[in-house]
Chain A
Amino acid sequence: MSIKDKVWYPILFMFGASVVFVSILVVFGAFTQSRVDDNKKIAFERAALEASPATLPERMGTSQIHEMYVKVVADSTAETAGALRYMIGDSVAAYLLPVEGQGFWAPVKGVIGIAADKSTITGISFYQQEETPGLGGEIVKKPFRSQFEDKVLAVEGPAIEMRAVSAELDASSVHAVTGATQTSTRVGRFMNDQLIQWQKRMGVR
């Protein structure tokens, strides 16, 4: 009777194989962990800068993004109601409000930039989403995001409204993504919930 025919052999083999493969993954995971964490941090910093009034070069390396972020973005305080501060000199030039909520497939996270008047949007950017590429995934692209620039947060009803592509726009509305009704509705909903909450805490609503 060979060792392969023993009753305990499959259990021992499976256990041994699992230990070997999982150990390799644990070592590789530990080796790349700091890099993965840095990538997440840089993705957030890039989104914050894209939402701010800062003019960004076409191509920016990760070190440039981090340097610029450290230079112009300050932490939130009790007075900014959870929004980071975009500083020019010693004064706050814009508020950068992190927002997040459920998209169509998975959580969506982004940053909304609001000028010092607490009303005008300076920009918007998303750093985490798993929406359908080509449809809901279009929320990360410039044509969708640039619609928000210079829009004014309404103080009654939705702060910013997403309307069908055929609808006319006013100072507080943008067009939804064509063919991605669910993503547009969900993103619009959580953005508004958090914007309205922020407006109330900042005393503008």
Chain B
Amino acid sequence: MAQQKSAGQIVKDGLWLDNPVFTQVLGICSALAVTNLVLNTMVMSAALVFTTALSGFTVSLLRNITPRRVRMMVQTLIIAFYVILFDRVLAAYWPDMSRSLGPYVGLIITNCIIMGRAEAFAGSNPPFKSMLDGFFSGLGYSFVLLAVSVVRELLGMGSILGIPVPFLSSPGFDRWIIMVMPPGAFFTLAVMVWMFRSIKKRGEQKAGGGK
């Protein structure tokens, strides 16, 4: 039996070493779709953290009674349950944000990170550790998305969280419309992945004695 990860290792893996976006390259579709506004990205990230953590917990809780042959159907059911719950909470208590995010919240169901964590971790680990793993994988996804959204909103709209930024929001600065559009997300995400991987590699080389 494989050795179980410690809580500290789960945190480090989710946030950095095994980051879902720049190491595993998962969840890219939504990373491209919602990152043109920082506020939308924050809410989307909160939805993903909520869903990954709780679906991991539930999948793990049911792991000993879930038949192996239908485990992925059960995982999808659990993930869809939490996503619909979050979507409904938004529609009832934050209607403006619900309208703004539109179909993207529903699409969290298809996010590979959640299914990936359920299959790779929650199916063979205890509930609390699975929740921790989901939570920090979600946070790892969130911080990369936030970095992308800050760049896109700044250059594309001249604002952060809708608040105009001096110079970038002035008539003298031509807003980079492409940053608000899907190609802007591809460029920014690619640069971010390259940047984070380089930093990670440098850290690993230092730890390994500078080889």
Contact = CB atoms under 8 A, between A and B. Distances in A.
A135 B181 CA distance: 8
Interface stretch (A12-20, A49-57, A91-99): A12-20
Interface string B64-83: 01110110011001100100
A129 B96 CA distance: 11
Nearest to A127: B99
Contacts of B3: none
A39 B67 contact: no
Nearest to A33: B92
A36 B65 CA distance: 36
Secondary structure of the A side of the interface? Answer: helix
B92 A18 contact: no
A134 B88 contact: no
Contact of A134 (B81, B89, B95, B157): B157
A9 to B, nearest CB: 6
Interface stretch (A22-30, A78-86, A115-123, A195-203): A22-30
Given A28-B88, A178-B177, A133 B70 contact: no
A138 B37 CA distance: 13
B70 A24 contact: no
A13 B88 contact: no
Given A18-B77, A106-B102, A134 B37 contact: yes
Interface in B65-122: 65-67, 69-70, 73-74, 77-78, 81, 84-85, 88-89, 91-93, 95, 99-100, 102-103
B92 A17 contact: no
Q: How large is the interface on B (under 10, 10 to 19, 20 to 34, 35 or more residues)?
A: 20 to 34
Contact of B77 (A21, A28, A42, A133): A21
A42 B92 CA distance: 12
B40 interface: yes
B45 interface: no
Contacts of A102: none
Interface of B: 36-37, 40, 62, 65-67, 69-70, 73-74, 77-78, 81, 84-85, 88-89, 91-93, 95, 99-100, 102-103, 153, 156-157, 177, 180-181
Given A132-B36, A178-B177, 5 more contacts: A14-B77, A24-B81, A25-B88, A134-B37, A179-B181
20 contacts: A4-B65, A9-B67, A10-B67, A13-B65, A14-B77, A17-B77, A25-B81, A32-B91, A32-B92, A35-B92, A36-B91, A36-B92, A40-B95, A105-B102, A106-B103, A130-B99, A130-B103, A134-B37, A134-B156, A179-B177
Interface of A: 4, 9-10, 13-14, 17-18, 21, 24-25, 28-29, 32, 35-36, 39-40, 42-43, 105-106, 128-130, 132-135, 137, 178-179
